[in-house]
Structure 1
């Protein structure tokens, strides 16, 4: 495949991710619901009550420090509770509370509504194919160590400078 086509695909995936994030953020905040990461955390804990923080961080693909902050906030709202492991005091287990279960069910319903809207124009076969492709792409990312890769830009500002130079900024990508 031509590199121009690959770049266009990459840009369209980025655009879709931003649109999904904006749409979900708006929908969740209008109803005063919990954000995506918090909602996902509740679902994982509900499905794995007593999960360790380390396991949870791995499943959610977040840094342990970010998870600790998120868990702390959710514990303050009495959605989850933490308990130290009886054998190893360094290990924390996370449990969902009754209040957390109620929020998790509501969040799951809301996410299902968003998914139904997003994918309503796709056939079952297209959804299965898309899922297989996304899982394959995710596996590819997981197989790389970002530190081993060399890019021509550094940090947030370098990213935007690079894209501005190549014409992928401020809607110019629409003209491919």
Structure 2
């Protein structure tokens, strides 16, 4: 059996699962289900974003986005408004309730970053961020290609 030359994706995956699992547990008190906090943060940071942009940003399919947004509208975290310029499109904006919890989500994200970067110099933090960002950009075209087949 051939071993991988680099196991970075396994480490990134484990990191992502640990972060999401921790977050999902912490955000149950806000009536949020698995991964919904990601949708809230992106809508808070990009008010007026549409479903397609949100799906692409989070690297999920439109069905997943539609289900998550519908639930977040029902529980009072997101507003959906028809786009004045494109009648078939909707803009998503955060509610006051979303903006309040957003602050808590960002504090938790900062705590997770602090733990993840424990023992790193500032130079290493920047290099790590730059490299993972580059990997993310590199894989995006492949993701879009596979998604659109």
Whether TM-score is above 0.5 comes out as yes
State the distance in 2 between where 1:136 and 1:64 align: 24
Maintained 8 Å contact 1:79/1:99: yes
State the distance in 2 between where 1:24 and 1:56 align: 18
Secondary structure at the counterpart of residue 83 of structure 1: strand
Write the deviation string for residues 129-150 of structure 1: whole angstroms up to 9, x where unpaired: 1122212222221233449xxx
Write the deviation string for residues 96-126 of structure 1: whole angstroms up to 9, x where unpaired: 0000111111111111111111111111111
For residue 39 of structure 1, report the CA deviation from its aligned partner: 2.2
Q: How many residues align?
A: 142
Q: For residue 26 of structure 1, what is the aligned residue in structure 2? A: 22
Question: For residues 26 and 60 of structure 1, do their structure 2 counterparts lie closer, same or farther at Cα, with a shift above 3 Å needed?
Answer: closer
Q: Please, what TM-score do these two structures have when normalized by structure 2?
A: 0.80
State the distance in 2 between where 1:72 and 1:62 align: 15
Q: Structure 2: where are the runs of 5+ without partners?
A: none
Q: Write out the 4+ residue segments of structure 1 that deviate beyond 6 Å after TM superposition.
A: none
Q: Which has the larger radius of gyration?
A: 1
For residue 26 of structure 1, report the CA deviation from its aligned partner: 3.2
Q: Structure 1: where are the runs of 5+ without partners?
A: 148-176
For residue 24 of structure 1, report the CA deviation from its aligned partner: 4.1
